[in-house]
Amino acid sequence: MKKILNTIDKIDIFGVPVNLLTNSKDLFYQSKLGGIVTLFVGSLGFAYFLYVIILWIENHLPPNVSFKQQTLSYAEFEITNSVIQLELQDFSGEVDPFRRENNIITPYLYKIIDRTIIDKPIPLFSSEDKPFIISIDNGTIVLNHDYSGQNGRFLMTQYLLVFQSCSDSLLENGSYCANESVINEYLSKFHGFLFLSIKLHQLNYFTRQLEEFKKQYYTAFQLTKPLYSQVMLKQQETIIDDGILFNNYQNYYFLNNYELINQEVENSFTSNVVSQMSQQNYKFNNFGCYLFRIDDISISENVTMPKLGQVLAQVGSIVQIIFMLKYIALYYNKVLLENELLHEIITMYYPEMKNIKLNFLNQFEFKDNSIKSIKNLNQDFKYKYKIFLKRAKVKCRLNNILYEISRIQFILQQQFGDQLLQQSHQMGSRLSNNYIDYEHCKDSNRLTVKPANSLDIDNDFALLEPLEILQKQP
C-alpha cells in the first residue's frame, strides 16, 4: 500500500508546468493528491460511460419523440379478431336479447359503399359462452375522399350497426324470434347501458411490439329513445429511426384511439336512412345504431432512437462536469510546488530547516528530534515559518534575483577590477587530448578551469557599464 501511495503521483494528469529551475528534470510537477483525483475522476467517468453504453445497448435510453396531426385522403382499417364489441349491462333480468334462438333484438350490420347499401345486412348474435356480447369479426373500413376506386384503392366504405326488432323474414340459419308476448314484456322494461369496447394499440419503442389495450364508452340503452352514434376511428403512423450512425426508418400503422358522438333520433330515423341508401323499403323499429368510419385526421409520430453520437455527447457533457475537479488538483499542485520551492530557498539560508518536510496536505512535519532546539527558541514556530515563506517568495522574484546578481557583480568588480570580469567570458573547461581521460575527468566531477593569469588580455576592451559587463556574449 505504501508503495502504491509513493507512486500514485506518477498518474497525475493535472500536473502544473515547472517554470523555475529546480533539481527535478520533470516537465510537470505532480502530486499524490493529483493522482488520487485522477483515479477518482477517471474511474467515475469510465464507470458512467459503461453505464450509459449498457443502457443504450439494452434500449433503455429514452428516445426523442415528436407528434403532428395530418389530414388523410385515403386510409384503410381491417376489422379482425373481434376488434369491436358491444356488451349489454342489463339491470332488469338475465334475458339475453341477442341470442340466436328466441331472439328479441337483432343487431344488423350494413355495409355502406359510397353512400349506397348493396349487400344484405349481416345479423350478429351473442354466443352461449359470451352472452349479452356481440362483436364485429371481419370487414374493411375505407376512407376515400377521391371518390374513385382506381389504382388499387377501394371506394369509401363504412359500417352501420343497427339494433332493430326481431323479424323472422330476415333471420336465417336456424335463427328465430321469441313470441310476441316475450318481446313486448322485454321492451317494456329498463335495460341499463351498452358498453362499446374497441381494441386499440400502442407501439413499444424498445421491443417494436404493438401493445393492445381497450377503450370503452357507455351509452344509454333506452328502447323508447334510440341514439344515433358515430364512431370515428383514429389511426396513427409511427416512424422509428433506429440507426446507430445513419438513418434507418421503420413504419408502423395501427389504431390508437376513437371518438364517439351521439344524438337522440326518432324511432323511424334509421329505417328511413337504410331505405334511402339501399333503394329498398325497410320497416323496423330502431333501438339504436352505430356508424363506424375512419377519422380524417390522424397522428404522425416520429421516434428517433439515441444514436452513438448522441450517447457519446451525453457522456462527454457529464464527464466534462466531473472533470471540473481538475481545477482543485491544479490549484493544489501549484500551491504545493510553490511551497516546496520556497522551502528549498529557506533551507539555503537555514540548513537546519532541512529536517522539515512538507507532506501531501501541504503541511510541514519534523523528520527527527533535532529540530526541537529550533522549536524551543520560538514557541510560535508556524508563525515564524510563514514569515520565512513570505521572505523566500520575495527572494525568488525575477527583479530581486537580478538585483542580487548586480550586487555580486559590483562586489567582484570592486575586488578584482573590470578586466577580469570582461575576460570571464573566455573561461571554461579544458579538454584532454585523450577522450577517455576526459570521460574519467567528467565522472570524477573534476574539470580544469583556465587560470586568470593565462588569459589573453585585450587592451582594446572599452570601459563598459556595470549592466553590460556580465552579459552573455554572442
Domain boundary (254, 270, 304) is at 304
Whether 240 and 166 share a structural domain: yes
Whether 212 and 243 share a structural domain: yes
Q: Which set of grid coordinates corresponds to residue 262? A: 351521439
Lowest mean pLDDT among 31-45, 168-182, 202-216, 444-458: 444-458
Higher pLDDT, 8 or 58: 58
Whether 215 and 329 share a structural domain: no
pLDDT tens digits for range 173-192: 889 999 999 999 898 888 88
Position 457 confidence tier, pLDDT thresholds 50, 70, 90: very low
Whether 115 shows a pLDDT value over 60: the answer reads yes
Break the chain down into helix, strand, coil percent, rounded to 5.
35, 30, 35
Whether 84 and 6 share a structural domain: no
Q: How far apart are CA 17 and CA 30, in angstroms?
A: 9
Whether 353 and 404 share a structural domain: no
Whether 427 and 353 share a structural domain: no
Is residue 271 situated within a structural domain? Answer: yes
pLDDT tens digits for range 63-82: 999 999 999 889 999 998 88
Q: How far apart are CA 235 and CA 83, in angstroms?
A: 14
Whether 301 shows a pLDDT value over 90: the answer reads yes
CA 331 to chain centre: 32
Whether 375 shows a pLDDT value over 60: the answer reads no
% pLDDT > 70, the chain = 78
Is residue 56 situated within a structural domain? Answer: no
Position 37 confidence tier, pLDDT thresholds 50, 70, 90: confident
Higher pLDDT, 326 or 210: 210
Is residue 159 situated within a structural domain? Answer: yes
Which residues constitute the domain of residue 463?
A: 398-469
Q: Which set of grid coordinates corresponds to residue 225? A: 329513445
Whether 215 and 264 share a structural domain: yes
Whether 198 and 78 share a structural domain: yes
Half-sphere exposure of 277 (CA within 13 A, CB side): 21
Whether 260 and 115 share a structural domain: yes
Whether 197 and 223 share a structural domain: yes
Whether 269 and 151 share a structural domain: yes
Position 244 confidence tier, pLDDT thresholds 50, 70, 90: confident
Total domain count, the chain: 3
Angle at 14 between CA 8 and CA 17, to 5 degrees: 110
What is the pTM (predicted TM-score) of this model?
Answer: 0.63
Position 213 confidence tier, pLDDT thresholds 50, 70, 90: very high
Position 142 confidence tier, pLDDT thresholds 50, 70, 90: very high
Higher pLDDT, 210 or 428: 210
